[in-house]
Amino acid sequence: MHAEIQPFRIDIPASAVDELRRRLRETRFPPALPRDDWATGVPVGYLRRLVATWAETFDWAAQQAALNEFPQFTTVIDGQTIHFLHLRSSVEGALPLVLTHGWPGSFVEFLDLIGPLTDPEAHGRDAADAFDVVIPSLPGFGFSSPVAESGWDAARIGRTWATLMERLGYERYGVQGGDIGAAVSPEVARAAPTRVVGVHVNGSMGMPLGAPSEADLATFTTLELDRLGRVQTFMQDEFGYIAIQSTRPQTIAAGLADSPAGQLAWIIDKFHAWTMPHGALPETIIDLDRILTNVSLYWFTETAGTAAYIGYAQHSAWGATSEPSGVPTGAIMFAHDVGIRRYAERENTITRWTDVTDRGGHFAALEEPALLMDDLAEFFRPLR
């Protein structure tokens, strides 16, 4: 093992768990607005139920023990502590793969993929599709904290991931990610184009942030017009959280670091808005223990502010353009996603593009792990 890499185990003190439960039990809920429905945010009645579950029946100790079954490590790169999972496949010739999460997620998004990736035969898959798996926590997220300085945009994180893989002794590897991970993964390829054999993303690549020209609009397919329309609706109806986190991350952190119910509401709002089918409660799509484990990580590590700061408040985080790395790039767009290939091709060498129009939300690894695995395996198969 590289001398600069240290083993890591999650060890949240029992006193911190007791404090969380006390705060949850003492939550001062806001008065319900008219109708108390999702149109104005997380309904108070629903939030009360989730808070009670988190306080009374959620077993953090069991979840912590389960997380610690996965080998975890930390290392310092460019002055920043980076936490990561690292699992080697027993299959000879397995391709190393870096998985990068987004906001409001964490490394726990990928837990259900680890088995099929590292031991595909045990999960009914072809051994030739085996991967070694590296799952870093983004700077400012979870145990990759605190953040000592600014400037952690996607390009810098990409360079950091390239350094991490070099430190682990990998000369050739692939990258995959969604949300922020879909911005970081291509940057790893730009940082190390001779080492990264392929980039695979879900969800965010090719999202049209500006108004297309009339000439472009005339050539749009029905699917592209639908995605464009949903981006415009998002910018009108849902952009508020980005505006707050990109301009006032410290202010929102003051509330979220002090109120676990507030932290839960801030995150569960997105799990409701971005999962499919729309309108379904998040726990009917994703296991509630997995959701609460994710929220608990934000709470125990006090990273609401740093995650917002790194994810949204860096100057080049939104709207920057880059040259293609030349590395083969694949994308899968589920029903909730809004990526448009022609936009993605401006900055990436797209060799595979999969549209899934009838299922799947933003959290692909949590919602549709089998479909994500299928596409990922097929994309990397000729690149090994």
Mean pLDDT of 50-78: 98
Above 70 in pLDDT, residue 51?
yes
- Return the percentage of the chain with pLDDT > 70, whole number: 98
Residue 296 lies in a domain: yes
**Quick check: 304 and 147 in contact, CB under 8 A?**
no
Q: Give the list of residues 6+ apart from residue 84 with CB closer than 8 angstroms, or none.
A: 72, 73, 74, 75, 107, 134, 135, 136, 137, 164
Q: Give the list of residues 6+ apart from residue 319 with CB closer than 8 angstroms, or none.
A: 209
Above 70 in pLDDT, residue 82?
yes
Above 90 in pLDDT, residue 130?
yes
Residue 268 binned pLDDT confidence (cut-offs 50, 70, 90): very high
Query: What tokens were used for 176?
Result: 């995959």
| Gyration radius from the chain CA atoms | 20
Which DSSP category does 259 fall into? -
Q: CA 172: distance to chain centroid?
A: 23
255 or 323: which carries more pLDDT confidence? 255
From 119, 129, 132, 179, the catalytic residue: 179
Between CA 304 and CA 243 the distance in angstroms is 15
Which amino acid makes up residue 338?
V
Closest CA to 283 of 49, 110, 59: 49
From 86, 200, 272, 362, the catalytic residue: 362
Question: Dihedral angle at the C-alpha atoms of 142, 192, 176, 197, nearest 10 degrees?
Answer: -150
Above 80 in pLDDT, residue 115?
yes
Active site residue 258: no
Active site residue 312: yes
**Quick check: 354 and 375 in contact, CB under 8 A?**
yes
From 173, 309, 312, 343, the catalytic residue: 312
User: What are the tens digits of pLDDT across the range 287-309?
Assistant: 999 999 999 999 999 999 999 99
**Structural domain of 37:** 6-383
pTM of the model: 0.96
User: What are the tens digits of pLDDT across the range 337-358?
Assistant: 999 999 999 999 999 999 999 9
Q: What is the mean pLDDT of the chain?
A: 95
Mean pLDDT of 209-238: 89
Residue 1 lies in a domain: no
Residue 309 lies in a domain: yes
The structural domain count of the chain equals 1
Residue 372 lies in a domain: yes
User: What are the tens digits of pLDDT across the range 183-221?
Assistant: 999 999 999 999 999 999 998 798 887 788 888 889 999
Active site residue 358: no
Q: Give the list of residues 6+ apart from residue 136 with CB closer than 8 angstroms, or none.
A: 82, 83, 84, 98, 100, 107, 144, 161, 164
- In three-state secondary structure terms, 8 is strand
Above 90 in pLDDT, residue 1?
no
Between CA 57 and CA 304 the distance in angstroms is 24
- In three-state secondary structure terms, 166 is helix
**Quick check: 172 and 195 in contact, CB under 8 A?**
yes
CATH at residue 368: 3.40.50.1820
